Amino acid sequence: MNKQHRVMVAGGTGLVGSALVRRLHAGGYANVLAPTRQTLDVADAAAVRAYLQQHQPDVLFIAAAKVGGIQANNTHRADFLLDNLRIQTSLIGGAHEAGIQRLMFLGSSCIYPRMAVQPITEDALLTGPLEPTNEPYAVAKIAGIKLCEAMAHQHGRAYVSVMPTNLYGPGDHYDLATSHVLPALIRKVHEAKQRGEAAVPVWGTGTPRREFLFVDDLADACVYLMEQAYAGPLLNIGTGEDISICELTELVMSVVGHTGHLQFDTSQPDGTPRKLLDVSRLTALGWQARTSMREGIALAYADYLARFG
């Protein structure tokens, strides 16, 4: 990929897609296509095929997906499976039909088995049962990875898959019922501070460990890999460090400036006990994350205040 290329970001208005568009513009890419939902329904295979054939992007990033936190994934199980299968099939299949040679499919670290050895290497894929709370989403993403691999194998396409760890940053979703843990905690801590309440409600036991990557770092990694013409196997993208949900809540409290205590709601699920990616393949390719968690949470909180404060 180079700056003369026409680069399309599917899902370009979401958390990941908008970070990709920011990074491409900052990197001097003048020919970036990022259709909104109103312009292109990415789940509509015929519409996607027509769009790709008309615009003929040289490169396609697939950041379009139905995403959500533990409760949304666990409740709307059919939607997560069906919507993601539709979106990725229309984009990957449509890209092939339109003759697009280079594509990057973004998955998620939840594709790996629930009890995978930590940190999780790419080779852990399909070696054990998945975490039940997000199994439908994970199954869809695994199908997307396998479709990219099959396109490469059967048709010689450079369709690569990358697996980001839990992401956060500007443009995130703060709906408490559907969001991921970090935006939920930013909102809960902010609201507790505003109301003068000491207790910060935390789902589960607070003991699960998660790894968090600032979304602009993810976008940088994706562009870096495409510029290197990475055409290898499935690749993890993360920081290589994790934190417990308790420690994370305390960090958010420190950034927001709230002193109080954690109140656990153990009627909510913990999900997988630990999810830490092995990023040694990515490190060996010469990329590593730059934004510390404290810096990243401060930037996400500033975005939250600008939009909702």
Q: Which residue numbers are catalytic?
A: 137
Of these, 166, 236, 239, 291, which contacts ligand GDP (CB under 6 A)?
166
Of these, 43, 60, 62, 202, which contacts ligand GDP (CB under 6 A)?
202
Quick one: 35 or 208, whose CB is closer to ligand GDP?
208
Closest distance of CB 249 from ligand GDP, Å: 8
Quick one: 70 or 124, whose CB is closer to ligand GDP?
70
Of these, 93, 113, 171, 204, which contacts ligand GDP (CB under 6 A)?
204
Q: Please give the radius of gyration of the chain, using alpha carbons only, rounded to the nearest integer.
A: 19
Strand ranges in 211-267 using DSSP code E only, listed in sequence order: 212-214, 235-237, 243-244, 261-265
- Beta-sheet pairing, 243-244 with 209-210: antiparallel
Spatial distance between the Cα atoms of 102 and 1, rounded to a whole number of angstroms: 8
236 near ligand GDP, rule: CB under 6 A: no
271 near ligand GDP, rule: CB under 6 A: yes
Query: What residues are paired with 10 via a beta bridge?
Result: 62
Quick one: 224 or 264, whose CB is closer to ligand GDP?
264
What SS3 class is residue 37?
Answer: coil
110 near ligand GDP, rule: CB under 6 A: yes
Q: Would you give the DSSP letter of residue 228?
A: T
Whole-number Cα distances in Å, 78 to 23, 62, 81, 137, 149: 33, 21, 5, 9, 25
Closest distance of CB 174 from ligand GDP, Å: 10
Which residues are at the interface with ligand GDP (CB under 6 A)? 69-70, 110, 134, 166, 179-181, 184, 202-204, 208, 210, 245, 268-271
